[in-house]
Amino acid sequence: MRLTVSCRCACAVLAVAAATLAEPAAAAQQIEVIRLRDQQKISGELISDDGTVLRIRQAWVGKQGTSYLEWLLNRSEITGYELSPDLETTYAARKADAKSAAQLLALAQWCREHGMAARSAELAIAALKQQDDLPGAARLLDELGWVKVEDKWVKEDVWLAENGKVRYRGEIMTTAEAQKLKERDKQDTAIAKKETALAALDKDLAKAERRQQEIKAERAKLAKQIADQQAGGGREPSSLARAALEAATAAYRAELDRDHRAGGNGSSARLVQLETEMAARQQELNRLRQEAGDTRTAIAALRAQDATLAGESAGLDQQIADLRKRRHDAQRDISAAKYSSQDSGKPNGNGPVAPKEK
């Protein structure tokens, strides 16, 4: 007997959690709900119902065994639900009605969705016996971990164990072949790490060499600036300026001496003229000396910059030499590792393979 209850409230999923649990008891009550949000059908074992929240455990069978997904669904989240008898009762009723290959396959899918792995495989095999090209049947058996060997379906893990074989990288091979491939995979991983490290070295080396070229250009620019400063007044004031000042001073003193001998008071027009000339020569000499000092200061600053760059360049020379050596060593290690890994052969691949769907 089935009971159908409709719920027309707001939709809200409280929680969805995945866990591997013990298989449900055979007499557990089953439930099927339709979710409002996407009209998804959710069926499984009804764990609890407090009047507000339904707790449902859903089974799924795969190659690794049966796993379970637990749903916590608010009644407002579903359009309604159907309660059905326990699995055994439902299975017996469905089994009695399943006659054709398609019906057997549908029941096999239902068994899988309810955690009955053995029955699911048994029914799928029975369906294939009726129709060997039945769409979906071989795929279901493959997903359940079965393979076809000499026209007989067997559990893959059992067949592999009995024949001393394993499945690795999706291929059937001997344990020794699998171990050899695992060793090669380990070597390939190590090589990949070495190649990543080599790429990092190449990046660092390119950066250091690029900076070295930048420094070379900057130092050339500084050398030109220093030469320009020196050409524009980096030396002491010209002897001509000093000589002109000395001549103007001598002329002034001579004229002052004559003025005193003549009884003058030192304020003649000639003395004023010579004094003005002497002051102008002194001012010119002072200007030249100031310019020379400024130039020397500028040259000193430029040379300090050049010294800093020279120190950085020396450090880069050492860094570049070290990076080149490390790069050479890394390339040698990679070549040796690749040569060593070439010894690892490929597996024969002898063994059953799940048939493709026709």
182 with 347: CB under 8 angstroms?
Answer: no
- Domain assignment present for residue 275? The answer is yes
Structural domain containing residue 41: 1-85
Domain assignment present for residue 284? The answer is: yes
Tell me the pLDDT tens digit for each residue of 162-216. Answer: 888 888 888 888 889 999 999 999 999 999 999 999 999 999 999 999 999 999 9
For 144-156, what is each residue's pLDDT tens digit?
989 888 889 999 8
Instruction: Tell whether the model's pLDDT for residue 29 goes beyond 90.
Output: no
Task: Note whether residue 160 is domain-resident.
Answer: no
Whether residue 212 lies inside any domain: the answer is yes
Looking up residue 288, the CATH number of its domain turns out to be: 1.10.287
Q: Give the domain-ending residue among 27, 62, 85.
A: 85
Q: How confident is the model at residue 9 (pLDDT cuts 50, 70, 90)?
A: very low
- What CATH number does residue 4 fall under? 2.30.30
Backbone dihedral region for residue 18 (phi beyond 0: left; psi -120 to 50: alpha; all else: beta): beta
Classify residue 216: in a domain, yes or no: yes
How far, in Å, CA of 188 to CA of 178, rounded? 15
With respect to residue 317, please indicate whether it lies within any of the assigned structural domains.
yes
298 assigned to some structural domain = yes
Domain contains 316 = yes
pLDDT mean across residues, the chain: 82
Number of independent structural domains in the chain: 2
Model pLDDT for residues 74-97, shown as the tens digit of each residue:
888 888 777 877 788 889 999 999
Can you give the pTM of this predicted structure? 0.48
